[in-house]
């Protein structure tokens, strides 16, 4: 690898002249303290002299006193590790500015002024990847949430909207392409080998949506004609050599633009839409106005290097960032407590989009699985917070599964209660009422209420109360009537000891055991702590199907006879409910087994019931393979742990693996026949071929669990015959967990075959770190010293260590080695990239829910981190709350 393409070295950040030492207890920012800005900035002009090692920025702000502000003459411009090189007010150099910590304060006498500040940046020394930084030889920016203040001094808050004009100049050889938000208004050459470009964005926007990119890039260009007939130029920009892997991104963008017109009536509002892929990026992607910046991971895809899941992720993230153009950019957030206003709503929009592009039930099942794996543990742990938090220390820590995924579920409930058409009236009213402004979650709910004609007064509790409601269910025959009794309890969470009942919309159906049908689904809304729902014409002794489609993000508590679950898994006409019945059947069994509540007879009986249902799924000719693939998944270990107050991760793992192996043995013939059938399907992007690939690896997983030698044989054959990354990665995943020569052969081949392709090398790291191999911890240690491992690249760090932290065998090693490994990582990564480091803390933060010996080791690791002197605000907040 050449030196120029190496990302910034981590050691130090050279941006600052006078960085203040990080305080031990960062201040708490509270939602109730919101005040409108004292000064507005209707216009800003930025002038960049670009260089990888040195960039200067001159910003000119037209500032105006806010009539709704507090009238202070002090203009506070936020900074972060910046020192002003020069300050001018109304064209005159001034010296009477002062610093307040990182912020620049200037006293202004009049109502309106022009303030100009010059700053000097070192992009190649910016390892945090916030603000302006160098990645792979190019320059790019990331400003959300508070990165703009690392570029220039500015009131860096989302309720200050400005019109941006940007000029940039730089070496033409290093930066042939110069991009910013909006439209390019002028460009030219200078004699000294530099060139320049001017960009103007007509739409006022908050600073977090500013973006600039400069470097050697190639575009896949396309056009889109909007519903009112305007032509829009589209570009997906990548590094030379990657252009052959951009077509799916372009297609996804076009599909998103069309879908938002048809589904939400939203039309694009500029003549140009640029997407740039960068290889060093903290998050997935960013919705900067007219210039989205993406992690390469969510842009590049071709059959040889991207799995079907990667294709879906590209489509979903492109949709998500595009949809922000209305839900986020045209209407932005008043303050960061309102984050779910844009993120929750936009996640719902991307979920609906992906459902429309593919299989709706499969998408729903996937989204619920993510919620249960990522959000339920958050809601029941020390970092629990409402979808609209009340306070934070570091806002980066609040881009959570709660704000995003539960936020989407809360809006989805409104849609379920209103129905699609009335919900659309609500969103239309929201876009009309608040276009061009910085709004609140309250504004959103009121618009849906007014537009859809719902009373959401009690429903607002979903925005303020944390915790996953537990709903217990009882069904009783009372003469001719059937009575459904529901009770809800919202668990206590940090800072919220008392909870009120919330409206919980539940789609229910009562099945007739004899016919396998029901007389129609009803939507009931549980609003009280306890309520009874009477059904007059129910079949005798019916089977209840409840929370169909996962109509509410709650935990249903109901111990059910295996026979009822087997019945629903076979007969329910709601595909989600079928999946759910299968999951419950396995959850009930494994939870009982882990708790020691099953003797050998009961364990055998439980396995037989599961085996019968599972066998029907494996062989049912009426099931499509995409759905079969979902139904064959066992509940995740983290979701099983959620069912228990305190759990032993070793016992959960052993029981779950035991069941997997038992199923593999008991159904060996059916699984091998399935693996043979789908292995004969040729590669294609259509649903049937994708389904075939999905069950191919699923079947292989069970075959290998039941018979490792057969698994190794079939695994190597699948690897060697693979026509796609889906098959190749699936085979390698299975082989990586086996202790066999085929494992080493395939791993070595994979590394050699994909040398130089960073995203695929990420997979190579991640598959090994996620493996169930008995020596996985030693493998991870070796990988951390591999020449291809780099602490400065978030994708690589996540590939190795997030896979390790999610791997129960590695992370929950009884000796505590896994906890130590993640603790060490956090302490080493924090000075380089605090945002990414902080994302690893929650895994250790679950200690209260783990058996005492491991809990003590996890806690000790958190304490070791807490003892560090110069922790970032990001890690400090997460560690302090986790120790709580
Ligand atoms: N606005 C976010 C990106 C972001 C997140 C910026 C956190 C700063 C801090 C973007 O719209 C987003 O949500 N991206 C997601 C992917 C999305 C499909 C959920 C991400 O980056 O993970
Ligand atoms: Zn988003």
CA 773 vs. chain centroid, Å, equals: 28
CA separation for the pair 130, 147 (Å, rounded): 5
Terminal-to-terminal C-alpha distance of the chain = 45
How far apart CA 715 and CA 712 sit, in angstroms, is 5
Which residue's alpha carbon is at the smallest distance from atom 20 of ligand 1?
A: 284
| CB neighbour list of residue 799: distance below 8 Å, 6 or more residues apart | 762, 763, 765, 766, 769
Q: Is 283 in the pocket of ligand 1 (CB under 6 A)?
A: yes
Please say if the pLDDT value at position 79 is more than 70. Answer: yes
Model confidence at 758, pLDDT cuts 50, 70, 90, reads very high
625 lines ligand 1 (CB under 6 A): no
Angle at Cα 453 formed by Cα 449 and Cα 456, nearest 5°?
A: 40
pLDDT higher than 80, residue 22: no
Is the distance from the beta carbon of residue 315 to the nearest atom of ligand 1 less than 6 Å? no
How far apart CA 180 and CA 289 sit, in angstroms, is 9
Q: At a CB cut-off of 8 Å and minimum separation 6, what does 485 contact?
A: 473, 474, 475, 476, 530, 531, 532, 533
**Atom 18 in ligand 1: residue holding the nearest Cα:** 317
Nearest CA to ligand 1 atom 10: 286
Ligand 1 and 322: CB distance under 6 A: no
d(C-alpha 226, C-alpha 273), whole Å: 12
Contact yes or no for 52/140 (Cβ under 8 A)? no
**What's the average model confidence in pLDDT over 302-321?**
98
pLDDT tier for residue 62 given thresholds of 50, 70 and 90: very high
If you measure from the C-alpha of residue 441 to the centroid of ligand 1, how many angstroms do you get, rounded to a whole number? 18
Residue nearest to atom 21 of ligand 1 (CA): 284
Ligand 1 atom 3, closest CA: 286
Cα-to-centroid distance, 256 and ligand 1 (Å): 17
Nearest CA to ligand 1 atom 16: 284
In the predicted structure, residue 241 carries a pLDDT above the cut 80: yes
Name residues whose C-beta falls within 8 Å of residue 515's C-beta, 6 or more positions apart in sequence. none
> What SS3 state is found at 63?
strand
**Is any atom of ligand 1 closer than 6 Å to the C-beta of 320?**
yes
Residues near ligand 2 ion, CB 5 Å cutoff: 343, 346
Residues in a beta bridge with 523: 507
3-state helix vs strand vs coil in the chain, percent to 5: 45, 20, 35
Q: What percent of the chain has pLDDT above 90? A: 96
- Residue 57 pairs in a beta bridge with 48, 119
Q: CA-CA distance, 881 to 304, in Å (whole number)?
A: 44
| CA 754 vs CA 378, 744, 761, 789: distances in Å | 36, 16, 7, 15
| pLDDT at position 7 over 50 | no
Taking the centre of ligand 1 as the mean of its atom positions, its distance from the CA of residue 332, in whole angstroms, is 14
Answer whether residue 6 shows pLDDT above 90. no
Give one DSSP letter per residue of 178-245, joined into a string: EEESSEEEEEEE-TTSEEEEEEEEEEEE-GGG--EEEE--EEEEEEEE-TTS-EEEEEEEE-TT-GGG
Q: In angstroms, what CA-CA distances link 340 with 391, 406, 410, 590?
A: 14, 9, 10, 35
Give the confidence band of 19 by pLDDT, cuts at 50, 70, 90. very low
How many CB atoms are located within 10 Å of the residue 495 CB? 11
Nearest CA to ligand 1 atom 22: 284
Residue 501 Cα to ligand 1 midpoint, Å, equals 31
How far apart are alpha carbons 595 and 583 in whole angstroms?
Answer: 18
The neighbour count for residue 526, using CB atoms within 10 Å, is 22
User: With 80 as the cut, is the pLDDT of residue 20 above it?
Assistant: no
Q: Please report the pLDDT score of residue 753 as a whole number.
A: 98
Query: Which atom, in ligand 1's list, is nearest to the CA of 319?
Result: 18
Distance between Cα 399 and ligand 2 center (Å): 9
Question: Under a CB-based contact definition with an 8 Å cutoff, are residues 326 and 431 in contact?
Answer: yes
Alpha helices in 785-851 (DSSP H): 794-797, 803-806, 808-811, 817-829, 834-838, 841-845
For residue 338, the 8-state DSSP code is: G
3-state secondary structure 227-267: CCCCEEEEEEEECCCCHHHCHHHHHHHHHHHHHHHHHHCCC
Give 748's pLDDT tier (boundaries 50, 70, 90).
Answer: very high
How many helices (H) and strands (E) are present in the chain, helices listed first?
A: 31, 31
Question: In whole angstroms, how far apart are CA 161 and each of 145, 181, 438?
Answer: 14, 14, 8
476, 483 in Cβ contact below 8 A?
yes
Tally of CB atoms within 10 A around 788: 16
Ligand 1 atom closest to the Cα of residue 316 is 18
Q: Is any atom of ligand 1 closer than 6 Å to the C-beta of 333? A: no
Distance in angstroms (rounded) separating the CA atoms of residues 611 and 569: 12
CA of 401 to the centre of ligand 2 (A): 12
User: Do the beta carbons of residue 181 and residue 269 sit within 8 Å?
Assistant: no
Closest ligand to residue 297's CA: 1
Of 144, 198, 287, 321, the catalytic one is: 321
Tell me how far apart the alpha carbons of residues 812 and 850 are, in angstroms, rounded to a whole number.
10
| 182, two tokens | 């909006």
- Cα–Cα dist 15/125, whole Å: 7
Segment 290-316 shows an average pLDDT of: 98
Euclidean distance between CA atoms 880 and 872, whole angstroms: 12
What's the CA gap between 411 and 678, in Å, rounded? 38
Pairing of strands 272-278, 231-238: parallel
Residue 563's CB: how many other CB atoms inside 10 A? Answer: 12
Q: How far is it, in rounded angstroms, from Cα 531 to Cα 541? A: 21
6, 319, 346, 402, 462 from 408: Cα distances, Å:
38, 15, 8, 9, 11
Ligand 1 atom showing the smallest separation from residue 320 Cα = 18
**Is the confidence at residue 663, as pLDDT, over 80?**
yes
State if residue 701 touches ligand 1 by the CB under 6 angstroms criterion: no
pLDDT of residue 597: 81
Q: 687-737 pLDDT, tens per residue? A: 999 999 999 999 999 999 999 999 999 999 999 999 999 999 999 999 999
Angle, vertex CA 628, rays to CA 623 and CA 632, nearest 5 = 145
**Interatomic CA distance for residues 306 and 568, integer angstroms:** 35
Whether 731 contacts 742, CB under 8 Å: no
313 lines ligand 1 (CB under 6 A): no
Sign, Cα dihedral of 600, 606, 607, 612: positive
Among 85, 75, 70, 156, which Cα is nearest to 113's?
Answer: 75
The pLDDT of residue 25 is 79
- Ligand 1: atom nearest CA of 399 is 7
- Of all protein residues, the one whose alpha carbon is nearest to atom 17 of ligand 1 is 317
pLDDT higher than 50, residue 211:
yes
Q: What distance in Å separates the CA atoms of residue 212 and residue 293, rounded to the nearest whole number? A: 9
Atom of ligand 1 nearest to the CA of 283: 21
Instruction: Say if residue 15's pLDDT is above 60.
Output: no
Which atom of ligand 1 is closest in space to residue 321's alpha carbon? 11
Q: Is the CB of 284 under 6 A from ligand 1?
A: yes
pLDDT for 24: 63
What is the per-residue pLDDT across 805-817, written as a single tens digit (0 to 9) for each? 999 999 999 999 9
Active site residue 868: no
The mean pLDDT value of the chain amounts to 96
Q: Is 566 in the pocket of ligand 1 (CB under 6 A)?
A: no
**Closest CA to ligand 1's atom 13:** 343
Ligand 1 pocket mutation pick from 133, 285, 345 by most atoms within 8 angstroms of CB: 285
Mutate to test the pocket of ligand 1, among 286, 324, 327, 375 (most ligand atoms within 8 A of CB): 286
* Distance, CA of 256 to CA of 357 (rounded, Å): 10
Q: Is pLDDT above 60 for 14?
A: no
Of 243, 262, 355, which is closest to residue 301 (Cα–Cα)?
243
The pair of structure tokens assigned to 34 is 């919101």
CA of 349 to the centre of ligand 1 (A): 14
Determine the Cα–Cα distance for residues 790 and 792; give it in Å rounded to an integer: 5
């Amino acid at each position: 690898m050449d030196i120029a393409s190496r990302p910034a070295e981590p050691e130090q950040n050279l941006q600052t002249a006078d960085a203040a030492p990080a305080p031990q207890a960062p201040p708490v920012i509270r939602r109730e303290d919101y005040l409108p800005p004292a000064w507005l900035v209707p216009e800003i002009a930025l002038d960049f002299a670009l260089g990888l090692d040195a960039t200067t920025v001159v910003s000119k702000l037209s500032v105006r006193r806010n009539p709704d502000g507090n009238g202070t003459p002090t203009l506070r411009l936020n900074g972060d590790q910046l020192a002003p090189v020069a300050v001018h007010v109304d064209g005159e150099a001034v010296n009477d500015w002062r610093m307040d910590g990182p912020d620049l304060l200037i006293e202004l006498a009049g109502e309106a002024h022009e303030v100009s500040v010059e700053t000097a940046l070192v992009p190649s020394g910016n390892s945090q990847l916030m603000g302006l930084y160098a990645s792979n030889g190019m320059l790019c920016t990331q400003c959300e949430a508070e990165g703009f203040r690392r570029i220039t001094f500015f009131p860096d808050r989302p309720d200050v909207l400005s019109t941006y004009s940007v000029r940039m100049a730089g070496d033409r050889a290093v930066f042939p392409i110069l991009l910013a938000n909006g439209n390019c208004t002028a460009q030219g050459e200078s004699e000294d080998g530099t060139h320049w470009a001017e960009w103007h964005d007509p739409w006022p926007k908050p600073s977090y949506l500013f973006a600039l990119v400069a470097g050697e890039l190639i575009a896949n260009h396309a056009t889109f004609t909007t519903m009112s007939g305007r032509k829009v130029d589209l570009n997906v920009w990548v590094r030379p050599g990657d252009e052959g892997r951009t077509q799916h991104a372009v297609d996804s963008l076009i599909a998103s633009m069309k879908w938002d017109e048809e589904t939400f009536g939203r039309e694009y509002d500029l003549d140009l839409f640029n997407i740039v892929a960068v290889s060093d990026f903290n998050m997935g992607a960013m919705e900067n106005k007219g210039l989205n910046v993406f992690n390469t991971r969510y842009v590049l895809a071709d059959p040889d290097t991207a799995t079907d899941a990667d294709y879906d992720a590209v489509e979903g993230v492109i949709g998500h960032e595009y949809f922000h153009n209305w839900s986020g950019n045209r209407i932005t957030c008043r303050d960061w407590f309102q984050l779910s206003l844009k993120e929750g709503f936009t996640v719902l929009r991307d979920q609906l989009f992906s459902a429309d592009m593919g299989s709706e039930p499969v998408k729903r099942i996937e989204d619920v699985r993510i919620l249960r794996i990522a959000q339920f543990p958050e809601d029941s742990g020390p970092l629990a917070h409402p979808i609209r938090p009340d306070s934070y220390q570091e806002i980066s820590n609040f881009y959570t599964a709660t704000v995003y995924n539960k936020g989407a579920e809360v809006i989805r409930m409104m849609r379920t209660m209103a129905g699609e058409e009335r919900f659309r009236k609500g969103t239309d009213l929201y876009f009309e009422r608040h276009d061009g402004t910085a709004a609140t979650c309250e504004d959103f709910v009121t618009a849906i209420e007014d537009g859809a004609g719902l009373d959401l007064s009690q429903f607002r509790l979903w925005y303020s109360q944390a915790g996953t409601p537990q709903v217990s269910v009882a069904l009783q025959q009372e003469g001719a009537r059937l009575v459904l009794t529901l009770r809800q309890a919202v668990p206590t969470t940090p800072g919220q000891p008392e909870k009120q009942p919330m409206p919980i919309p539940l789609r229910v159906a009562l099945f007739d055991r004899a016919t396998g049908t029901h007389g129609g689904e009803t939507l009931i809304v549980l609003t009280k702590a306890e309520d009874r729902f009477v059904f007059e014409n129910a079949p005798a002794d019916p089977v209840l199907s409840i929370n169909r489609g996962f109509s509410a993000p709650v935990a249903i508590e109901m111990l059910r006879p295996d026979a009822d679950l087997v019945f629903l898994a076979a007969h329910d006409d709601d595909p989600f409910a079928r999946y759910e019945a299968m999951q419950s059947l396995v959850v009930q069994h494994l939870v009982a087994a882990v708790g020691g509540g099953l003797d050998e007879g009961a364990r055998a009986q439980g396995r037989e019931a599961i085996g019968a249902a599972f066998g029907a799924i494996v062989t049912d000719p009426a099931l499509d393979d995409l759905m079969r693939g979902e139904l064959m998944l066992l509940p995740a270990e983290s979701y099983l742990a959620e069912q228990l107050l305190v759990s032993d991760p070793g016992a959960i793992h052993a029981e779950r693996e035991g069941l997997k192996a038992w199923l593999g043995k008991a159904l060996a013939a059916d699984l091998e026949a399935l693996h043979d059938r789908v292995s004969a399907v040729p590669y294609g992007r259509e649903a049937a071929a994708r389904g075939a690939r999905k069950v191919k690896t699923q079947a292989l997983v069970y075959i290998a669990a039941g018979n490792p030698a057969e698994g190794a044989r079939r695994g190597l054959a699948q690897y060697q015959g693979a026509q796609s990354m889906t098959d190749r990665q699936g085979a390698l995943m299975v082989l990586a967990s086996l202790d066999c020569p085929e494992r080493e052969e395939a791993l070595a081949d994979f590394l050699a075959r994909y040398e130089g392709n960073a995203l695929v090398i990420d997979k190579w790291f991640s598959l090994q770190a996620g493996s169930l191999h008995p020596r996985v911890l030693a493998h991870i240690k070796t990988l951390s010293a591999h020449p291809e491992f780099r602490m400065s690249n978030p994708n690589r760090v996540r590939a190795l260590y997030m896979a390790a932290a999610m791997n129960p065998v590695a992370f929950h090693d009884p000796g505590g080695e896994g906890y130590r490994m993640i603790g060490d990582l956090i302490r080493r990564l924090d000075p380089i990239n605090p945002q990414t480091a902080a994302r690893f803390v929650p895994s250790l933060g679950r200690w209260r829910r783990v058996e005492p010996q491991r809990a003590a080791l996890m806690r000790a690791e958190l304490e070791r981190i807490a003892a560090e002197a110069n922790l970032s605000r990001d890690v400090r907040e997460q560690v302090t709350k986790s120790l709580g």
